[in-house]
Amino acid sequence: MNEVVYQQDVQSSIHFAKERRKHRLSQLIKGILFLCPSILLFGVFLFYPMGKTIYLSFFLTNNRGEPTVFVGLENYLDIFQSPLFLQSLKSTLFFALYTVPGTIIVSLLLAVIANEKLKGIGIFRTIFSSTMGISVAAASVFWMFLFHPTIGWLNRLVEALGMNAVGWLTDPDWALLSVSISTIWMNIGFTFLILLGGLQSIDSYLYESADIDGAGYFYKLRRITIPMLSPTLFFVLTVTLINSFQTFGQVDMLTRGGPQNETNLIVYSIYQEAFMNYQFGTASAQAIILFLIILILTIVQFKLGERKVHYQ
């Protein structure tokens, strides 16, 4: 009798295991079916182009982008020996150094001001975030007029102060800084909105407790606002850093990489190599190097920066 019961239990366990495997398989198939549209889109617009870029980086190509001669790592070795690429890498690093802290500091200052409960503050919030609705091309034309050497408002202001006019976009000492200033202005709208949302999500009871203890404004800003805003700041820092390495539109509109290649950022250098010099193999190698630089910086940022993030 016990043996019969034991066999029934074994058969029941086997049946249960089979049913469980069938259920898991059906769930897996359903999940894959739901993911198929996304996988298809990612495959067509992300995975295939990336694979093609890696493939082309090992070849010399003709004017139509077709691989002709396999050269292995020669494209990578050549670009690291190229003064133009090294200059573009240097310019990109300085551009990121200018724009990332500048964008975050200005946006944070505006967000703190806009978070105050003042009459008519909604108008200022709209003004501060308005740059989100302006395209890069339109904003670049606006800044091109401001930077104009003769009729630009900036030079008129400089001359009114008794100083000589500045070649904002034609002087190698000023061109990269000028493009960085215009980029900071273009990025403020998005960064401002994200930081303002982070400020408004901080619990008000923290400030009320600090007021009871007699804490001042800057003490609350340093001890409450900044720590509670750290997840949002971390996100903004990551996105802004990545965007700074992918800048193209304003460089193409304002300087076209000049003067003397001072504003020839990596993405614009890739564009020149691929669509002006028709060196698709070299351009692909530069694109892979740019991808690795962004990947390494992002990993380092997560390893070092996330430790200081305070989650509520």
pLDDT bin (cut points 50, 70, 90) of residue 239 is very high
Report yes or no: 100 and 234 within 8 Å, Cβ to Cβ.
no
The contacts of residue 226 (CB under 8 Å, 6+ apart) are 233
Q: Position of tokens 């029941």? A: 12
pLDDT in tens, 28-64: 888 888 888 888 888 888 889 999 999 999 999 988 8
Which is nearest to 143 in space by CA: 185, 182, 106, 102? Answer: 182
Q: For position 288, what pLDDT does the model report?
A: 95
Yes or no: say if 159 and 109 are a contact pair by the CB < 8 Å rule.
no
Whether the predicted pLDDT of 4 surpasses 70 = no
The sign one gets for the Cα dihedral 35, 37, 40, 41 is: negative
The residue type at 145: F
User: Does residue 6 surpass a pLDDT of 60?
Assistant: no
Write the pLDDT tens digit of every residue in 255-303. Answer: 999 888 999 999 999 999 999 988 999 999 999 999 999 999 999 988 8
Average pLDDT, the chain: 88
116-151 tens-digit pLDDT: 888 888 888 888 888 888 899 999 999 999 998 888
Over residues 10-15, mean pLDDT: 66
Nearest CA among 141, 150, 176 for reference residue 258: 176
- The per-residue pLDDT for range 62-113, each reduced to its tens digit, is 888 888 899 989 999 999 999 999 999 999 999 999 999 999 999 999 999 8
Task: Decide if pLDDT at 310 tops 70.
Answer: no
- pLDDT of 164 > 90? The answer is no
145: Cβ–Cβ under 8 A, 6 or more apart, which residues? Answer: 151, 152, 153
H or E element at residue 59: strand 59-61
pLDDT in tens, 198-216: 998 888 888 888 888 788 8
